[in-house]
Amino acid sequence: MSVESVKSAIIEFLASTTPEVLCIRGHWGTGKTHNWKTIAKDRRNKPGGVALNEYAYVSLFGLNTLGELKIQILQNTVVRAQIGDLASFATINNAVSTLERGAKKTVMQSFRALFGNRAETIASALGLLTSKQIICIDDLERKGPKLGSDEVLGFISYLKYERDCKIVLLLNDEALEGEDKKKFAAYLEKVVDRNLLFAPTPEESASIAIKEQNSLSLLVRNRCSELGIDNIRVIQKIDSAVEQIEPLLSAYQPDVLKDVATSIVLFCWMYHQPEIAPTLEFLKRHSRLSLSDNNNELTPQEFRWATRLDEYGFTNVDDLDLALMSGISNGYFTQESIDAHAADLNNRVLHREANARYRDAWASLHYSFAAGEEVVDSIMQSFKDEVAYLTAENLNNVVTLLRSFSMDGEIGEVIDAYIAAKSGAKDAFDASRIFLRDEKLDEEVEKRLDNAWNKQSQPRHIDQVFLQLGEDAFSAETLTALSSAHVDEYVRIFKAYEGDHLRTILAGVFQYRRIENASEPMVEIVAKAQEALIAIGKESRINAHRVKGWGVTIPKEEIAAQDDSGLTAASQA
């Protein structure tokens, strides 16, 4: 039931003098208590808003007897004008002084004198004090273990029928367990007149939790809604975390804060509601491809997580994400931890913004019949302005465009701008990375890039080439170096490195097996790697077992013989 529907029911309940029981159920943190208190306090001063003159709010948290509950009702009883105010001896005295029956005032004076010493006597007298009033009983699911749900509901029934009270019961019924839950279900229908499920939409919860209307608050509110977060307390904690980190990102691009806020919404949800949110382990192995390629490997819960994460736009966990998760867990963020990783995000934001402006320049060419040839100049200028964040493919596209409009005189300047901006940038001059459709690579672009490559590149040691396969597997330098290396070099490398290093190397060389229409160098690399593993596997039974995990099977008769000590003939020699 929406917030507005429950609000209407509460307003009707407060305005009626008829003794009745209203039950409002809902998940923790969805705002049941906040909603009730806000409406009750708002209606207290409206003509006819609250029909009865006395009111008490009590929480069952930790209470183990009905006597304790009765005392709580007395302690927290206030007059209508004080609904929502903090109960105190002043408010209690006010409540008592307005009563017409002197007996209640007399018992109240006895309560003050004997409280703490004669609790049971006081509790038994509370039947005289509690009548014709509104009582809100909250947190039924958090009561003490000695107090049964059936006892509470029985007492509520007594208050309604014998003391002419109106009672509202607030609880998360899903948190009740075992026999207590069965008793609650059995008594509920007999005792409760109106049973409402308070289930605000994520949008409603976010609007309740975050009142501010600035752009960052609106972003957090919308992101919480996108993830389906309906717990108001969790949303407030998310908003607080974003407010805390905002000044730490003041030196970065504005979109960095937006990206970080988006991540914090997800990570706070995971931290504060681990029972329903994705796990960190799932996030680490999640990618946009997981949903389409590996959906048969996902559990139904993981499939729902993957769907929601894809819709949210989350793709992978990086070092900044881990720093943010640590800050959420610790309860604070530090400038040092943010600065250690935010620079990379800042660069990605700059890259994204530059590419957006560059695409806008091209849009005037592709999606307008009004603009003239000045758009070509605009594209060229945009390339120069954003060249630090553009690629060799962008360069070739601009040069091709300039040639088609006979602007060859501008081409040298454009290429110069690219080479100057990319000096020292890894693979920036690798023409093999330029994606071509039907067109050919511009000869001048290819020549100038090759020259720049030759001036800049310093051949890496073969060990470096192998060790950097995880990040640089498809450059011309890597493919040339590995395909031309001798098998003996593969054997040496495979035996020289262990652990994560060897895993990176073997995973790197065998990734070429998964590529359709692999190039000759890729085929050659896989063949040499397999030949090297065959040679290693033949050395011993343990190595034969190891290489089998990489798809290489060694016949038993080809494995070197071992003596009783486990040494092979080759090792003895």
pLDDT at 291: 43
Judged by average pLDDT, the poorest of 49-63, 359-373, 418-432 is 418-432
pLDDT digits (tens, 9 = 90+) for 440-451: 899 999 999 988
What band does 573 get if pLDDT is binned at 50, 70 and 90?
very low
Q: Is the pLDDT of residue 105 over 50?
A: no
Is residue 435 predicted with pLDDT exceeding 50? yes
- 3-200: CATH class: alpha beta
pLDDT tens, residue by residue, 21-74: 999 998 888 889 988 999 999 999 999 999 999 999 999 999 999 989 998 998
Lowest mean pLDDT among 296-305, 462-471, 504-513: 296-305
**Per-residue confidence (pLDDT) for residue 569, from 0 to 100:** 52
The helix, strand and coil proportions of the chain, stated in percent and rounded to the nearest 5, come to 65, 5, 30
Over residues 501-507, mean pLDDT:
92
> What are the C-alpha distances in Å from 131 to residues 126, 165, 508, 551?
10, 6, 79, 82
Q: Where are the domains of the chain?
A: 3-200, 204-333, 345-456, 462-572
pLDDT score of 288? 46
Average pLDDT over residues 337-347: 88
CA dihedral 361, 366, 367, 369 (to 10 degrees): 110
Q: Is the pLDDT of residue 357 over 90?
A: yes
For 94-104, write each residue's pLDDT tens digit.
544 444 333 34
Token pair listed for 548: 């089998």
Q: Residue 286's pLDDT band (boundaries 50, 70, 90)?
A: confident
Least confident of 95-109, 191-205, 465-479: 95-109
Candidates 195, 130, 121; CA nearest to 158 is 130
CA 184, 185, 186, 190 torsion-angle sign: positive
Predicted pLDDT of residue 114: 52
| Residue 239 or 115, more confident | 239
Say yes or no to pLDDT of 570 above 80.
no
The H-assigned helical ranges of 440-514 are 443-456, 462-467, 476-484, 487-496, 499-510
pLDDT value of residue 507? 92
Per cent of the chain over pLDDT 90 is 60
Kindly report which listed range (56-65, 329-338, 457-466, 528-537) carries the lowest average pLDDT score.
457-466
| pLDDT confidence of residue 174 | 81
pLDDT value of position 567: 53
Q: What is the mean pLDDT of residues 420-433?
A: 83
Contact 361, 382 (CB under 8 A): yes
Mean pLDDT of 148-163: 93
Q: What is the predicted pLDDT for the residue at 120?
A: 52
Sign of CA dihedral 267, 268, 274, 277: negative
What is the pLDDT averaged over residues 364-373?
91
Rounded mean pLDDT, 164-189 = 88
Average pLDDT value for residue range 238-265: 94
Q: What is the mean pLDDT of residues 190-215?
A: 91
Distance separating alpha carbons of residues 295 and 311, to the nearest angstrom: 16
Confidence band for 93, pLDDT divided at 50, 70 and 90: low
Question: Looking at 260-269, 541-550, 563-572, which range is the least confident one?
Answer: 563-572
pLDDT, residue 111, reads 53
Answer whether residue 302 shows pLDDT above 60.
yes
Q: 526 pLDDT exceeds 50?
A: yes
Tell me: pLDDT of 127 over 60: no
Name the residue among 141, 188, 148, 155 with its Cα closest to residue 72.
155
Spatial neighbors of 56 by CB under 8 A, at least 6 apart, are 72, 73, 74, 76, 77, 78, 87, 130, 133, 134, 135, 136
Is 104 within 8 Å of 129 (Cβ atoms)? Answer: yes
Across the chain, mean pLDDT equals 86
Higher per-residue confidence, 163 vs 426: 163
pLDDT-based confidence at residue 391 (cuts at 50, 70, 90): very high
pLDDT for residue 173: 81
Q: Which helix (H) or strand (E) holds 25?
A: strand 21-25
Q: 319: pLDDT confidence band, cut at 50, 70 and 90?
A: confident
pLDDT of residue 561: 74
Task: Give the Cα separation of 502 and 444 in Å (integer).
Answer: 41
DSSP state of 562: B
Residue 437 burial class via C-beta count within 10 angstroms: exposed 0-12, middle 13-18, buried 19 and up: exposed
